[in-house]
Chain A
Amino acid sequence: MLNASLLSPSAQFSKPAHWTSAIVPEEVAEKQKSNPFIGPDYEVNVSQIKNVKMQFAADAMRSRVKEFASYHELDIFVASWNVNNKAAPNLDAWLHGPVKKRLQGATPDVFILGFQELDTSNQAYYSSTGIREDEWTKAAEASINQLDAPYVKFASKQLVGMLIMGFVKKSLQPEVSEISVDAVGCGILGMIGNKGGVAIRFRLIDSYFCFVNSHLAADTGMVERRNQDFGDVCRRMAFSGLKESQYGDYTAWQRAHPWVCHTPDVSRFVRSGTGSKAFDQVTFSMADSPQVVSNKWSIWDCDHLVWLGDLNYRLTVPDSEIRLALSEGRYGDLLKKDQLNVEKTARHAFVNFWEADISFPPTYKYDVGTNNFDSSEKRRAPAWCDRILSMTNPIHRAAPDIDDQPASGWNEVLWYDSVPEATVSDHKPVIALHRFAVRSVDQAKLQVVQDDITRMLDIYENEATPDVHIEETQLEFGAVRFLESYTKLMMVENKGCVNAHFKVVAKPGEVDICPSWCHIYPTQSKLGPAQAMTVAVTIHVGRTGNSAAKLNIGEQSLADILIFHVEHGKDVFVSISGSWSPTVFGCPFGLLCQLPKPMARFSRAELQKTYEDYVRSVSHSTASQNALENTHQGAMGDGFAASIAEGLARSGSSKPGFSIPREIWRLVDFLYRYGMDVPYIFQRGGVPETMDYVRHCLNSGEDFDLACLLLDDDSGNRNSEPDSRPSEQATGAHDANAADAYQPPKIPRRHGRASSVHSFVDVLLTLLASSMEPVVPYRYFERIVNEGYLNFSAAKSVLVTLPPVHYNIFVYLCSFCKEILSMYSGTPQLTVDTLVSVLAPILLAQSPKTRGWISLTPNPALASQQLHGRRSEGSTQARSDFISLDRPSDMATIRLASSMAAAAALLSSPRSASSYVDKLNVLLPLWGPLGGTMEGMLCYQIPRYRPPVPLLSLFGAATMVKIEFAFFPWHWLRVSPPFLRRSLPDDFHNPWRRLDEWRFHPFFDLRNRMRAALPGFGIAVGAFTVYKGYELADARWGNTARENAEWAAWLEERNKRLHQDAHH
């Protein structure tokens, strides 16, 4: 699809290109429509998968119910009678008679009888003796059993005056199961059973039936109350028995009967419209209905719901009109004014119930014993109080939204009538014969359908897993050189039907997703169906992590496997590999000294062997180290010229083993010859192409093209014929790995001497920084930082213990620095501070393994003490404190301070070193940011960075940062008093938690906060009490008492005197 291409380094972090097809392919869109797991945005909502599966399975079962279920027609006789507290008469007229007459020999399969006002005595409210029930049951049994088939009572429930009972044909009895009954009272206080309902729920073969017999609030004006009673019965009726049944809980039952139970969205079928407040309470949300919560069935959990009873809805027509209309037989006009019909239409009650046509006269109110309407004083208006309604499960409706009617053949009312012959009560009974379709499920066929649905779900689920393809799973980068970037692009394509969220993850046991020399962008993303994007993989062996060193000696290789993990999907592996071109960068200095030929001519194996020899020789020669040191000490005082002479002498000899690496000598030599007078040396970055060239020359051993490097660009041929390098050198350098078709960097354009010199400095610093160990090896770091050398002799005593090559390099560089500083003495272009701040972090560095942050204290000696103290504690506690305490710049400062002291000690005389340290205390805060800036500049090669007024701006920035970081007492603001620090938990890595931990300290608990809320309140109360006590005591026994006594005496005396005056 897209050929892997080699891009320039600048493209390393360019944004990836998306190929976003605006139109999702048709087949994917189709799959999205059919697949229940895929959302409209092609996202798979994993948290909803369980529900989706349930819903899908239920829907599928429901739609295929015909495949495993067959239907029988069964007749159920439903009757209701308000018996007005009368004793049971012969019921033949009500039950036996009509059946016999109308069915001509056939018999209903089930009888459901509902009674109201069976027992209106006060006794019935608190004790149900069942006497009346038995009486009526016997009467009913006697009447029913006159039919041809024998019947048995299978359930009954009484609540005060309401009774419902069910009889079933004996032959059908085994098919009736899961019988449960319940009663709801909503009369007086909304609780008592003078009004309310009783209900039977049972299973007949594989259909569920529910019959509710209710007696609602009476009186014409109580429509609202009746609606409310209806709602109450609906809501509160709950059938137990689920836990004891084979299902165990409601969900299991629901799952087993998807063709019966309501799906959640069914609530809209039974919910009321914008009706009265009372009925608004009857808005059923199946998921949280009390029945489901308490694992019970509600009245809605059935195929057929029949509601019978004395509903008490009246006619809103004057009595005389009613009687007139009735006498004329205009039932239709009256039924339009029937409250039940009105409320039903207004969706205030009995929503979605339906009723067969009424063709019988009102059932209320008659004179007892006659068929005449009420002729007493009250003259109650006739009304159709007693009704039988049914509701069909929305699943089986012909058109669920519009029509309440069941699908044809589902529930047919053969006749619906009243019985005028029954004259015992002031109500006439109503009877209806329903012909229901009763389901029976063939388990074997059901199994087939279930298996089929399971299979479909599997297919859909697999379809809904993301599928990501990567065109190129093997990325071969070819030859890879130091500090160069190689980028390859991979096409990641989503071939699935859902959004794919992929990310690159770490291999088991590793933390990073890829080695430090590898970069991936982006590491995670989202792809829509049929979308593709490119992921860039870049190899860049840089200075960090010693990767160049490890690659050089074969400790690492340029090969890795990336794991592209797709969330909820598969993983794809991508292997990346490249062949490393050994380089002088990152070799141990000792090894560089011993190499007999330029690095580029070594093969990999050869280099590794040389390295092993070197390691062996180093371990042998540690004994003779002291001897070497003495010889080198001589060189110290002799100055730079002598060092150079020595270096020249060594390099001239052919025997392997220079005193310093040849490469360092070549770089320094160039600088010494051509760069000493360049302004701002050591303060500017180099030109990338020149640096490439210089690195190439170092690796291959070629001579520098001086003409090109030194001539200024105003010579006119800046753009023409840039490559003037002799070609035989190139071929000579590369016969070792000619097969690689290695293109050596072209000789750079002429940027002029100054930029060449800057580039050389840059390369030199890179060479020093990328070595396996810095010039002052890692193991010295802690010692130097801790001891913080303040004078020359102490520093020197450490330096002489360095390994010989390292010692040589250190001295060589210091001598060079001294030379350079002498050139610049008295000018602000290069001060000793600047030079030290550049070199110190490179010469003296902390091992990445032990890198951590230490706190800033102006005095290095103090800092080291602190550091030392912290280290010695050694506990996790101390370490976490240690890590979390301070900022990166502090580390750099300490490092610089100490190494500066050490370097200064070497650079200057003993006397000036100590004076320098005095100055250091003042300048210290500057070095952190400054050093950081320089380091950043050098490490990341910002090629065009030219500060307009370099030093001024640097110092300006440094001053700002100083105020920001160093002098401002941030630590005063930090909430970490000692007692809190002691209470910190062990796994204290999360800074947010750390900052928040104080909230949970007992110091800040409620009691303490209350105490602190009114500071001094206790003392004030105490003081006030004492004062008050004193006052009382004083008034009784103290001065005040005496004074009062005196006053009283005086007053008495005065009165006496006044009396005497009056007498006089």
Chain B
Amino acid sequence: MASSSSAGAPNAKPIQVKLVLLGEAAVGKSSLVLRFVNNEFQENKEPTIGAAFLTQRCKLEDKIIKFEIWDTAGQERFHSLAPMYYRNAQAAIVAYDVTKAASLEKAMNWVEELKRQANRDMVIALVGNKLDLVSASHGGDEAVRKVPVAQARAYADEHGLLFFEASAKTGDNVLEVFTDIAGKIPLDHLLAHPHRGAGGRGGAGGAGAGAGNRVDLLRDGAPRADNASCAC
């Protein structure tokens, strides 16, 4: 018989966070998203050509964070198009495959590019996927591991990244990746400038950095991004 209802808590309005997934092809970016959003897993998923868009709300203490997730194509030939998606993003997941040493190299390149070109306050998480292949509890074999945990963790610590090893197949650690990112995002900043924070829903529509006006039009014109909030 509590006399107050938490549904009416002051911060019930969801905070929009644009999150982008980067990493080499076939490390399981889309699978991570699919596990997070729909809690499902598909074997032999066809590669992402382009960039998929999904939303998911995530609860953090008394706040609701609405992730606008852009899952990008990993193939090298689409590399030049990535800025379109990580521009204005508040968070990034850089994924690699624990069974492929080269994928970590690529992930490091992505991290450097993000540090160089993206939002300064961006929260970056380094995620080693396919943990199930190397963990004995899921019938994996430690010998398949090509990226030692220590190496990746050291790199992440050095560059101030969040670090996880996860498995989209079993769902291990996937939720933790997203909730930890949510926890690390400077929300006060977003609340103070809701429009800056909620500029996510652009995609390629906002391409063409040269025409500044046009970008703004498309961005703010998308009413979905415009402080959309939910009743709960």
Interface residues of A (CB under 8 A from B): 46-47, 49-50, 53-58, 61, 174-175, 177, 203, 205-206, 246-248, 252-253, 255-258, 440-441, 443, 446-447, 450-451, 453-455, 457-459, 461-462, 465, 470, 473, 505-511, 561, 563-565, 567-575
Contact = CB atoms under 8 A, between A and B. Distances in A.
Given A47-B223, A509-B208, A462 B84 contact: no
Contact of B49 (A205, A509, A572): A572
A279 to B, nearest CB: 33
Interface stretch (B72-80, B140-148, B150-158, B172-180): B72-80
Q: Which 6 A-B pairs have the closest CB atoms?
A: A256-B8, A57-B231, A572-B50, A54-B231, A565-B204, A571-B50
B4 A508 contact: no
B211 to A, nearest CB: 7
Contact of B210 (A53, A511, A570): A511
Nearest to A572: B50
Contacts of A54: 230-231
A233 B200 CA distance: 48
Interface in B27-41: 37-38
Contact of B230 (A53, A258, A510, A564): A53
A441 B80 CA distance: 54
A450 B232 contact: yes
A451 B230 CA distance: 12
Interface stretch (B18-26, B51-59, B160-168): B51-59
Contacts of A571: 50-51, 203-204
B18 to A, nearest CB: 14
B207 A563 contact: yes
Given A205-B1, A568-B201, 14 more contacts: A47-B223, A50-B228, A50-B229, A54-B231, A55-B231, A177-B3, A253-B8, A446-B5, A458-B56, A462-B55, A510-B208, A561-B81, A565-B207, A575-B77
A246 B8 CA distance: 8
A573 B73 contact: yes
A653 to B, nearest CB: 47
A252 B8 CA distance: 6
B222 interface: yes
21 contacts: A46-B222, A49-B228, A53-B229, A56-B231, A61-B232, A206-B5, A246-B4, A246-B8, A253-B8, A257-B8, A458-B55, A458-B56, A508-B81, A561-B80, A564-B50, A565-B203, A565-B205, A565-B207, A567-B205, A571-B51, A573-B73
Nearest to A72: B1
Given A443-B5, A507-B81, A509-B210, A57 B232 contact: yes
B194 interface: no
A564 B51 CA distance: 10
Interface of B: 1-8, 10, 12, 37-38, 49-57, 59, 64, 73, 77-78, 80-81, 83-84, 87, 201, 203-205, 207-211, 222-224, 227-232
Contacts of A446: 5-7
A440 B125 CA distance: 43
A206 B49 CA distance: 52
Contact of A454 (B54, B64, B73, B224): B64
A458 B231 contact: no
Given A454-B64, A561-B81, A443 B208 contact: no
A49 B130 CA distance: 37
B78 A573 contact: yes
B222 A511 contact: no
A457 B56 CA distance: 9
Contacts of B4: 246
Nearest to A465: B53
Contacts of B50: 563-564, 570-573
Contact of A256 (B5, B38, B205, B224): B5
A568 B226 CA distance: 13
Contacts of A570: 50-53, 203
A505 B208 contact: yes
Nearest to A252: B8
A174 B4 CA distance: 13
Contacts of B211: 511
Contacts of B2: 441, 443
Contacts of A509: 208-210
A476 to B, nearest CB: 14
Most buried by B among A57, A248, A507: A507
A45 to B, nearest CB: 9
A450 B14 CA distance: 14
Given A561-B77, A561-B78, A567-B205, A441 B5 contact: yes
Nearest to B231: A57
Most buried by B among A53, A450, A569, A571: A571
Nearest to A245: B8
A451 B60 CA distance: 12
A494 to B, nearest CB: 15
A46 B221 CA distance: 10
Contacts of B51: 570-571
Nearest to A441: B5
Contacts of B8: 246-247, 252-253, 255-257
Given A49-B223, A454-B57, A505-B207, A573 B49 contact: yes
A525 to B, nearest CB: 15
Contact of B5 (A257, A506, A510): A257
Contacts of A252: 8, 12
Most buried by A among B7, B73, B83: B7
Contacts of B49: 470, 473, 572-574
Contacts of A561: 77-78, 80-81
Most buried by B among A506, A507, A573: A573
B73 A175 contact: no
A387 B87 CA distance: 68
A454 B6 CA distance: 15
Contact of A563 (B7, B87, B204, B227): B204
B208 A508 contact: yes
A505 B224 contact: no
B60 to A, nearest CB: 13
A90 B227 CA distance: 61
Contacts of A575: 77
Nearest to A575: B77
B231 A53 contact: yes
Contacts of A256: 5, 7-8
